[in-house]
Structure 1
């Protein structure tokens, strides 16, 4: 998943950890910590001296660090210097590879979503595809880093992935690696309706959304009558960008709040004055590949009754990560889950996702098809504080394309057009 970088959050968390403790308890805790560290040193020393083959101490320590972090939740992780540098490059909108966002699920690397306009999308890779092998080598249980390293390589060279997809036999896909600049915004007139797709939330997204809206206004020859905002297969990105993009469609008011371990760490992010669409109706498209920052936008516009959400439930990543450079980045960085985020109505979408107002499937599905999948399937995923409950919809609620529907046509987009036209007609009737 893309990182939400708020450097101050980790400072608040550390500072609050010792409040309210007696003087004796910190001393006892400190002594126990030193005892455990001594135990770790003993184990490391024994492995280094007695293991059946020679070991690499640095690799052992890095594995121990990652073991500690991954035991917390799926998104906390140590980033070696090279990975930290790559992450910084990615958030600037540059990407090198085949163009997929991945996560670790059930001992396998699973695609969260292909990035629009990259070789991965063009090759037909989809959200929830599982990477079983790379160039014929089995990758089940190999670990995220091992799989990602095998997929990386020089631009122009092919890599063959063996893909597992629900309802199909495993198949191979050959993708040619490329140096890709991620286009975070794509826009056009969809029939007679303005359409804008956000593929990721990097440092340039708000600026490009603003420019796209102005271009659409010019093409329309006046104010936009409405907008289809497509964040399907958008894996997320920078928190501040999701807030500023939401602000383009809201006139003040809350977008999202974040809460850390200490209640005093609660922070609310509000929209600025000025709705670029002046109240014109919006339809937001989401699917299981819509995660993190894209869920913040969809949840905010839904809770504020600013938009109708159409599609299938989103990924359900309701946590925020802080990236802390270690020794200025020379030793890499720590990516640590430091807070949960909540929609304006106080909802946590952790594990459940944003549930669309209008449920629409992209293709024919059956009651056995997993509808709620994503974050909740990840090992050590945080629980949803709202408690266990049944999905807030029935299978019969999901609109499906007819059996003879041409799968090359976008049925969810067709539904979004219909919904937007209906909302535009209701608004026009009220204004008369």
Structure 2
């Protein structure tokens, strides 16, 4: 994520004066200036009438903040203006620790909807799932609050309890879940070894993620005393984070080539990011696991490794957030988060709204309501950007609506067989088959 600081911002009257002073060189530019001046004049007239005639006295800051919020809400779901506690919350999301529930949420038609619960947090342990709607907090209706206001109410002192009223699509009725808030210490990277396969679970792209992945690779090798047969990069339910960390993680598995490009409004405004030499796994087979909760930085990593044929991508179609937000600090405790570019995978594909399609679709059969639960993706958000200006969204089926006859096992059967995570189980089995075939080929070659 880029961070820029503006020295100052002009108040509305100064903006009008500045626009009027700009010399016009063509009739078109002059007409545009006149139209802009009329619109700003209309805004100031409404502003003045509200502050003079509204039924209750309202301060200017509230009116101007509301106007800014409305202006940005007309653009896309990810542009916003934050102040004070909201600014602190935005910084916490990338710095790593906060008191709360462990949820990534969005808004759909004014309602708060769960994008994904963070692994091993109170929300995850309480059984909240992607697609759940949270309607009340301690009996108070959340509908009508801004997303930042709803998030602020969910956070609180560690040890305090909160009761969420949840509407789950497919469930018979709303139900309450009591959750105790905790300090959410985001551990961006965890690792384990499963049947000679190194599993690297990346939960978020915060400031330490790149280093965490390198440490995980080294720790797996030290634990085994050698390199594993392959690696699973688990990006499921990872909502994204910092762009530079997505680049570092991709670079850890690539020898060369483009990782991602950013393209702004001007066609000439393209910034490309490349891998440096040195695949830390020395070419070991990779599988990347994604799902509908894999967004943003997760999609950069999955797209880069897929396009370079460095990894097989498994799971289900990802979230589809292919836009870049620049954070412009406008004051000591305020910032503008503005969508300034789309990002593209090395093959030139934008994942905006469409997401990353897995090479092999593998449903999460150990989730009993996997096929009935709807997924929330970028394309479901109001005013979402399309993949490219002037190009309409492609209508994509939800993976959850498709039941491949090859995947017929029931959740209860898998549980009895000791399989807790079918997608991970499938990925590990696949890598071990690849390793077995490789060993067989080498032996045959020596003969």
Same fold (TM over 0.5): yes
* Equivalent-residue separation in structure 2 for 1:150 and 1:6 (angstroms): 27
Q: Would you say the 8 A contact 1:231–1:290 is kept in 2? A: yes
Q: Would you say the 8 A contact 1:361–1:399 is kept in 2? A: no
Give the structure 2 partner of residue 219 of structure 1: 223
Q: Does 1:5 align with 2:2?
A: yes
1:351-370 aligned at under 5 Å gives the runs 351-362=353-364, 363=367, 370=374
Give the structure 2 partner of residue 51 of structure 1: 54
2:193 to 189, 194, 212: 189
How far residue 336 of structure 1 moved from its aligned partner, in angstroms, is: 0.6
Please list every run of 5 or more consecutive structure 1 residues that lacks an aligned counterpart in the other structure: 9-20
* Equivalent-residue separation in structure 1 for 2:441 and 2:156 (angstroms): 57
Q: Does 1:250 align with 2:265?
A: no
How far residue 191 of structure 1 moved from its aligned partner, in angstroms, is: 3.3
Please list every run of 5 or more consecutive structure 2 residues that lacks an aligned counterpart in the other structure: 6-23
Q: Does 1:418 align with 2:420?
A: no
Give the structure 2 partner of residue 153 of structure 1: 156
2:153 counterpart SS class: helix
* Equivalent-residue separation in structure 2 for 1:242 and 1:430 (angstroms): 35
Give the structure 2 partner of residue 173 of structure 1: 177
Q: For each residue in 1:151-182, what CA deviation from the matched residue of structure 2 results, as whole angstroms up to 9, or x when unmatched?
A: 12222111111112221132211121222221
Give the structure 1 partner of residue 68 of structure 2: 65
The alignment's TM-score, normalised by the length of structure 2, stands at 0.86
* Equivalent-residue separation in structure 2 for 1:22 and 1:405 (angstroms): 74
* Equivalent-residue separation in structure 2 for 1:321 and 1:173 (angstroms): 34
1:394-413 aligned at under 5 Å gives the runs 395-397=402-404, 400=407, 402-403=409-410, 404-406=412-414, 409-413=420-424
- Specify whether residues 92 and 150 from structure 1 end up closer, same or farther in structure 2 by C-alpha distance, changes over 3 A only: closer
1:263 counterpart SS class: coil
Structure with higher RCO (Cα < 8 A, 6+ apart): 1
Q: Would you say the 8 A contact 1:253–1:270 is kept in 2? A: yes
* Equivalent-residue separation in structure 2 for 1:22 and 1:279 (angstroms): 58
1:405 counterpart SS class: helix
Give the structure 2 partner of residue 428 of structure 1: 439
Count how many residue pairs are aligned between Structure 1 and Structure 2: 415
The alignment's TM-score, normalised by the length of structure 1, stands at 0.89
1:2-401 aligned at under 5 Å gives the runs 4-5=1-2, 7=4, 22-168=25-171, 169-326=173-330, 329-330=331-332, 332-362=334-364, 363=367, 370=374, 373-385=376-388, 387-391=392-396, 395-397=402-404, 400=407
Q: Would you say the 8 A contact 2:229–2:431 is kept in 1? A: no
* Equivalent-residue separation in structure 2 for 1:147 and 1:399 (angstroms): 42
* Equivalent-residue separation in structure 1 for 2:405 and 2:370 (angstroms): 10
How far residue 118 of structure 1 moved from its aligned partner, in angstroms, is: 2.2
Decide which structure has the larger Cα Rg and report it. Answer: 2
* Equivalent-residue separation in structure 1 for 2:362 and 2:146 (angstroms): 34
